[in-house]
Amino acid sequence: MNAPPADYIHRSVALALAEDVGGGDLTAQLVPAGARGRARVISREAGVLCGTAWVDAVFAALDPAVRVRWHAADGATVAPGALLFEAEGPARALLTGERTALNFLQLLSGTATAAQRYAAAIAGTGCQILDTRKTIPGLRLAQKYAVRCGGGRNHRLGLYDGILIKENHIAAAGSIAAAVAAARRLAPAVPVEVEVETLDELEQAFAADADLALLDEFSLEDLGAAVARNRARARPLGLEASGGIDLATIGAIAATGVDFISVGSITKHLRALDLSMRLEVLG
């Protein structure tokens, strides 16, 4: 699970610090300039850790003298009360960086934790969890990384590395066949996926020789029928189920035999992991 490029992380951190610190941290100036401190960050609940590189980048940007020591790595499952990291250095830098560092860590850990819950719910089925483009603006690569840390798989990163033909594209092109043909001419090496809403439209995607089909809001019965039809083909497509999926329904959907299930709520309906930092002034 490779983290996003360092320059992306540094840009994200710079923007976050600029909006939080602005012209300077007024409250941190109540602490003597020469004071040193030691911070301890714990998780108040169980979850999957993600975001260590962003925390490191926050404190490095504020004061290179801060030293961060991690007790868990990205992708690790942590228990309530677990010590995640300790940081020691100038007390002002620790205080100034607290909120920004924890914002990144709790948000990305929350994303990884959600992905892990969905992945665990379909373990053993052969189906894989996919994320979507429904991410926090400016943090897509970060959240996509968090999904991988939680055991999910990334769908396309953006509009540039995959083609997903939806209802409006089909209407503009005139048909599924015409849309797929145009996509092949435009980007021959890029996988082409077609969103379908009925079994008849799935047959059209078969005939057009798409690479994948997104089965939107299919019933369990129709999902099973789609899988059976697909397996009977000489060149099966990848089948992705999508629409209104939650932890209560995902197991039955995976059991139909689809290859992928995309879940927008992993990155969209985000619940941050509950973290806490305590600072000890060393003098």
Q: Tokens 């020789």 belong to which residue?
A: 209
pLDDT category at 283 given cuts 50, 70, 90 is low
CA-wise closest residue to 136 among 5, 248, 231, 270: 270
Active-site residue identified among 25, 56, 98, 216: 216
pLDDT of amino acid 9:
98
Backbone region of residue 257 per phi and psi (left: phi > 0; alpha: psi in -120 to 50; beta: other values): left
Is 166 one of the annotated active-site residues of the chain? yes
Q: Is the pLDDT of residue 84 over 70?
A: yes
Tell me the H-state helices in the chain.
6-21, 52-62, 91-121, 140-149, 167-173, 176-186, 199-207, 220-231, 250-254, 265-268
Cβ burial of 89 (10 Å; 0-12, 13-18, 19+) is buried
Sign of the CA dihedral with 169 first, then 131, 117, and 81 last: negative
Beta-carbon contacts of residue 58 (< 8 Å; ≥ 6 apart): 13, 16, 17, 97, 100, 101, 104
For residue 241, the cross-strand partners are 215, 261
The first and second tokens of residue 128, run together, are 């894989």
pLDDT band at 91 (very low <50, low <70, confident <90, very high): very high
Residue 1: pLDDT above 80?
no
* Alpha carbon 56 to chain centroid, angstroms: 20
Which of the residues 38, 40, 99, 117 is marked catalytic?
Answer: 99
- Which distant-in-sequence residues (6+ apart) come within 8 Å of 102 by Cβ? 41, 275, 277
98 has pLDDT over 90: yes
Residue 216 falls in the annotated catalytic set: yes
Catalytic residue among 38, 40, 153, 166: 166
Tokens describing residue 81: 């009360």
The answer to pTM > 0.85 is: yes
Helix (H/G/I), strand (E/B), else coil: 87: strand
> Which is catalytic among the residues 195, 201, 240, 259?
195
Asked whether residue 6 carries a pLDDT value surpassing 80, the answer given is: yes
The tens digit of pLDDT for each residue in 132-155 reads 999 999 999 999 999 999 999 999
Residue 269 has a pLDDT of 94
Asked if residue 43 lies in contact with residue 81, where contact means CB atoms within 8 angstroms, the answer is yes
What lies within 8 Å, CB to CB, of 103 at 6+ separation is 16
Within 13 Å and on the Cβ side, how many CA atoms surround 162? 15
Is the separation of the CB atoms in 241 and 202 below 8 Å?
A: no
- Set 38, 40, 134, 184: catalytic member: 134
Place of tokens 């991410």: 135
Rg (CA), the chain: 23
Calpha distance 279→169 (Å, rounded): 55
Per-residue pLDDT reduced to its tens digit, 105-122: 999 999 999 999 999 999
Would you state the pLDDT for residue 244?
A: 85
Please give the average per-residue pLDDT across 249-273, as a whole number: 97
Region 257-277: mean pLDDT is 96
